[in-house]
Amino acid sequence: MSLKEKMVSSFLAFELDTDINTSVHEIRSKSIKDFEKIGFPAKKNEYWKYTPINKVLNDKLTIFKKKRHLIEFDKVKDFFLSGIESYKIVFIDGSYDPLWSNTSHDGVDICILSSIIENKKYENLIKKHYNTIVDKNESFSLLNSSFSKEGAFIHIPKSMELDKPIEIIHINSGGESSLMLQPRNLIILEKNSKAQILESHYSLVGKNDKSPYTYPGFIDPLTNTLTEIHVKENANLDYYKIQNDLETTSLIDNTYINQKRDSEVSCHTFSFGGNIVRNNLNFFQNGQNINSIMKGITILGGNQHTDHHTLVHHANPNCESYQEYKGIYNGNSTGVFNGRVLVDKIAQKINAFQQNNNLLVGDKASVNTKPQLEIFADDVKCSHGCTIGQLDDSAMFYLKTRGISEHEAKGLLTYAFANNVLENVKMQALKNKIKKIIANKIGVNLDFEL
Amino acid sequence: MAYTEEELKKELEQQEYQYGFTTKIESETFPVGLNKDIVRKISEKKKEPKWMTDWRLSAFEAWEKMEEPEWSNVKYKKPKFQDISYYSAPKTKAKYDSLDEVDPELLKTFDKLGISIDEQKKLSGVAVDIVMDSVSVATTFKETLSKKGIIFCSISEAIQEHPDLVKKYLGTVIPKKDNFYSALNSAVFSDGSFCYIPKGVKCPMELSTYFRINQAGTGQFERTLVIADEGSYVSYLEGCTAPSRDENQLHAAVVELIALDDAEIKYSTVQNWYPGNKQGKGGVFNFVTKRGLCHENSKISWTQVETGSAVTWKYPSCILKGNNSVGEFYSIAVTNNYQQADTGTKMIHLGKNTKSTIISKGISAGKSQNSYRGLVRIGNNAENARNFSQCDSLLMGNNCGAHTFPYIEAKNKTAQIEHEATTSKIGEDQIFYCNQRGIDTEKAIALIVNGFSKEVLNKLPMEFAVEAQKLLEISLEGSVG
Amino acid sequence: MLEIKDLHVSIDDKKILKGLNLTVKAGEIHAIMGPNGSGKSTLSSVIAGNEDYEITNGSIIYKNENIEDLSAEERANKGIFMSFQYPVEIPGITVTNFIKTAINSNLKARGQKEMAANEMLKKIRDKAKLLEVDSKFLSRSLNEGFSGGEKKRNEIFQMAMLEPSLAILDETDSGLDIDALRIVANGVNKIKSSSNAIVIITHYQRLLDHIIPDYVHVLQDGKIAKSGNKELAFELEEKGYDWI
């Protein structure tokens, strides 16, 4: 049986264990039907041109978990931000873990989606927001909409400036082979509210690790996550993603962000790990004076592959978008950037900027990039730039004449190359964490700040 | 006599597309439709050797199995391939020994096209091959060229006279099965130009081909093959026009360039096929495959000014196979009214120290759609490859679109690639500034567009640059409301 | 300290230095003057270890060691410093971070311990004060958006921090206004001691009003055409290079 057939036929069994009397379940039934029609992306699918996603779509993958696996805190403590108070929503193998979570219903909802879906009180809110901005023609979004029932639910009420950042952490215990996880997050920021959210995915055990669970033929978990974010008038969201997983685990991430007038959303994606990582980051601007910011640092090695697909749909006048992605590719790794800016006819006075810079370091590393503009309005300022290259020779020489070793000079320049993406990270604890990961990745020690 | 308003109006109407006349000369035209028999008949008509007939038939077989591509960013009613006649020739003597023998109607046509052959012969020293509908009707300056060993003739003639060269190179850069339209062309091409520059020879004059679709209900499928042998140089120009007709005419050409070691080919096109009327009716479908192969230290430079055609689908490309080879692409694409263009280039870097430059300027007006689509690929072994690309779009009015689809693929860590793109409109302040200095808006726009396109216009040979500049102005007339 | 013997240098097969001789002892200041294209910048690049240049003949002996095969950073580790005519801009790295990395790299190469953060800070503040460098300047990206004068001052600041044995100042005076020139010259004079040596490469005599050289050499067509004392510089200024 192909994986597609297997997924479709799993739906009946999935329903048995699911509350089917909710509005969300209608969406699930519809989605699985649509998925059955499209299936997984075909080989020649332009949207998947540079990412061999079929490589990770193993027939043995299943959405059913056999049992709950326990994890020691020591193994996961580094995943959390340190030296800072935060709300936490933690999932292990797709199930909520109350032990390490720190949720709230105190004037704000920072909790789990399953409890909200089944709660009559939230019925209208769910109807208004759930699955309303998701691409109904995208295979993995449909699959997630079919099978997801757990994830973070965040609802920030009007005019609230959230006191602490929120961490959403998904952990794969690696306790069993072939698991396909379908986390789903729904985030709503009401008018004039403000929040900072950090989302990360980690796996504890991969097929190359020695563990009681792994065995020859062990298949790493595949995470197919979907996040829907609604940002209302004049609200402000900083969203951060850390993708620093094992070299063997893969991630497909669909994020949909719907912005209303005067709102600002920035999304930083830090991709340092994983086997195949695919990000589909979609922004819809439904109002004037909106600002959408996308930034990313990707540092890969080995046979890793990361693909950033972004879409900004400028559907209204007087808006801005800003994209800046930097990639550093070692070993045999490959990077993809496909940035799409779409400007509707009525969307005059748009300022759209797109920049993608890449350093090719590894002998077998490669980069595919496609910054694409589709413009139907005339009074706009749109530009994109992209570079692929190496570290500057004259800068290397300059550093060496100051006595800095080749290795360290390379590290320093590489760090400098990526550094400005961090400029707008407002959470200092996170900034430190990322800097540490980068320094570690490129093998330099740069803990000194005046 | 006073010049009346009526006359002015008439003149302006003609301005729209001044090449939109038809020539009343008798033509021999095949019945519509395409099958193996037609392919055989074309080959027979041209008295081709068997290898050529077989070559065509295998292309036809491949074409039958292929589907018309849909990936480009253009929308059009697909041509009905069985409703087109695949062969039409002016019904006169097959080939002229001198211009004096040419049908005077034909000569008049060329005059109207602005290519008075006589004059050209004397003044500008441009050798011209003229392809009307599908047949090459006149080649000038043959003798002068042959003294240097340069072969410049119609491809039909080359198949007869220089079969070894044709056999060796035809279809080597663009295989028969490369794509839907190249397969179609390979099966049915009726004529085109052939050019061979021997080792070490610098071609002393610009070579030029003028294409004209005259007959109704025909498609034009010409085939061009240019071979620059080691250390040689040639500059090649190509121009095209077609009568204004209500139905869409199909033009599916194939151009292959081969630059052997240390050779240089400069290929310039001014494409001005009939774009259709203001309502988007009629016009030429221009589905063209152009590609050049660079051997060591060689250079191929494409320059194009695309102002005509209802739909354009065209990517003049370079395969930089030899070490130190250079590919260039300079393009201006103007779309107005309902025109659609999806054009760009592919630079395939295979050799070491290969370099490519892409400068593309798109200007959209009216209700047109203008897309740049390009590929820069640096292969595994292409050490120290360099590419610089710049794609700028200018939008005029709010009913058109400008799109950019650059694909960049680097598989070698020594690659250096820089790509920039901008989209903007003509600033009102710029126009006002011109107005204030007494320049009317139409002229001001021409001025600004000219400045925007300068980098590319400068790459054209002198004779063409002037024509291209005029074309830009005409194409954009009435684009400001 | 430095002994250059019959040095021939080419770049891309073009001969630039054609048998240059120069001896610099500790405690000395040498000025090398010459018209454009005489090979002044080639000389400094080749001493600093720029691999674009090829030594076809002759030798560069520094502290009794032939340094031809040493990399740029090895030479720096041994105390050779070059102030660049066109300092490189490196966005994303602060001046402080850069200088700290440089100092620790040099210490490490010499088998010494890294400098403690507080000691480093103190040293940075002291030297910044010495060269009238604003502290805001220290947290800016290296040379990015710096004016010509700021770049040169930053070079001398780095020199003060790294305390080299041999400093080569390549056209350090170009692009400086009179105040900046005075600050740079003061800095150089304060750093100067009996144990280090300075080679000033310059087109004009301007900087030599503030830093008095012990020797002046005129470089012409890849060779030292004339050597003398400070007076030679004045003469050159007056009569031009054609006079030689």
* Mutation choice for A interface testing from C105, C120, C133, C139 by most A CBs within 10 A: C105
Task: Tell me A238's DSSP state.
Answer: E
End-to-end CA distance of chain C: 28
**pLDDT at A219 exceeding the cut of 80:** yes
Question: A438 to chain C, minimum CA–CA distance in Å?
Answer: 14
CA-nearest residue to C142 within chain A is A416
CA dist., res. A333 & res. A277, Å (int): 12
Of C82, C100, C106, which is closest to A448 when you measure between CB atoms? C100
Helix H or strand E segment including A239: strand A236-243
pLDDT at B100 (0 to 100): 53
pLDDT tens per residue across span C68-124: 998 888 899 999 999 988 888 888 778 888 888 888 888 888 888 888 888 888 999
Residue A271 near residue A277, CB atoms below 8 Å: yes
Helix H or strand E segment including B304: strand B299-306
Residue B136 near residue B127, CB atoms below 8 Å: no
SS3 string, B208-237, reads: EEEEECCCCCECECEEEEEEECCCCEEEEE
Q: Does A375 touch chain B (CB under 8 A)?
A: yes
Instruction: Indicate the average pLDDT of chain A.
Output: 92
Place of tokens 């120009």: B237
Whether there are 3 or more C-beta pairs closer than 8 Å between C and A is yes
Count of other CB atoms within 10 angstroms of residue C108: 15
Q: Which two tokens stand for residue C237?
A: 């200024």
Task: Write phi, then psi, for A132 (nearest 5 degrees).
Answer: -90, -20
CA dist., res. B200 & res. B219, Å (int): 38
* Mutation choice for B interface testing from A334, A372, A387 by most B CBs within 10 A: A372
Whether there are 3 or more C-beta pairs closer than 8 Å between C and B is no
Its pTM stands at 0.84
pLDDT at B474 (0 to 100): 74
pLDDT band of A319, cuts 50, 70, 90: very high
Task: Write phi, then psi, for A399 (nearest 5 degrees).
Answer: -65, -40
State mean pLDDT over A340-352: 94
Q: What is the number of helices (H) and of strands (E) in chain B?
A: 12, 24
Chains touching chain B through at least 3 C-beta pairs below 8 angstroms are A
Place of tokens 């200088």: C99
Q: Give the count of Cβ contacts less than 8 A between chain A and C.
A: 94
CB contact under 8 A, B403 and A367: no
pLDDT band of A76, cuts 50, 70, 90: confident
pLDDT at B77 (0 to 100): 82
Sign of the CA dihedral C154, C157, C163, C169? positive
* Mutation choice for A interface testing from C101, C135, C159, C162 by most A CBs within 10 A: C101
CA dist., res. B225 & res. B109, Å (int): 26
CA dist., res. B288 & res. B224, Å (int): 11
Place of tokens 């290259």: A389
Q: Based on the number of CB atoms within 10 Å of its own CB, is C145 exposed (0-12), middle (13-18) or buried (19 or more)? A: exposed
CB contact under 8 A, C106 and A403: yes
pLDDT at A288 (0 to 100): 96
pLDDT at C142 (0 to 100): 85
Of B396, B401, B415, which is closest to A388 when you measure between CB atoms? B415
CA dist., res. B280 & res. B79, Å (int): 16
Q: Which residue spans within B309-399 are E strands per DSSP?
A: 311-314, 317-320, 326-335, 340-343, 346-349, 355-364, 369-378, 386-395
State mean pLDDT over A10-30: 90
- In this prediction, the residues of chain B whose per-residue pLDDT falls under 50 are 1-5, 8-15, 93-98, 115-125, 481
CB contact under 8 A, B409 and A368: yes
Task: Write phi, then psi, for B87 (nearest 5 degrees).
Answer: -155, 125
Q: Which two tokens stand for residue B471?
A: 């074309």
Residues in chain B: 481
Q: Does B411 touch chain A (CB under 8 A)?
A: yes
Radius of gyration in angstroms for the set of CA atoms belonging to chain B, rounded to a whole number? 22
Q: What is each CA distance from A447 to A341, B439, C103, in whole angstroms? A: 37, 62, 15
CB contact under 8 A, A449 and C101: no
pLDDT at B12 (0 to 100): 39
Interface of C to A at Cβ within 8 Å reads 48-50, 71-73, 75-77, 80-82, 84, 87-88, 90-94, 96-98, 100-102, 105-106, 109, 117, 120-121, 124, 138-139, 141, 158, 162
pLDDT above 90 coverage of chain A, percent = 75
pLDDT band of A215, cuts 50, 70, 90: confident
CB contact under 8 A, B424 and A348: no
CA dist., res. B110 & res. B133, Å (int): 13
SS3 string, B313-339, reads: EECCEEEECCCCCEEEEEEEEEECCCC
CA dist., res. B327 & res. B272, Å (int): 24
pLDDT at B103 (0 to 100): 56
Q: Does residue A352 sit in helix, strand or coil?
A: strand
ipTM of the complex: 0.85
Q: Which two tokens stand for residue A415?
A: 């760090």
Lowest mean pLDDT, pick from A364-373, C175-184, C215-224: C175-184
CB contact under 8 A, B410 and A368: yes
Q: B299 CB contacts (<8 Å, ≥6 apart)?
A: B259, B263, B264, B265, B325, B326, B327, B328
Q: B325 CB contacts (<8 Å, ≥6 apart)?
A: B259, B294, B295, B296, B297, B298, B299, B300, B351, B354, B355
| Cα C122 to chain centroid, rounded | 25
More confident of the two residues C217 and B33? C217
CA dist., res. C76 & res. B25, Å (int): 83
Q: Does A377 touch chain B (CB under 8 A)?
A: yes
Q: B178 CB contacts (<8 Å, ≥6 apart)?
A: B289
* Mutation choice for B interface testing from A340, A374, A391 by most B CBs within 10 A: A374
Q: Which residues of B touch A379 (CB under 8 A)?
A: 398, 425
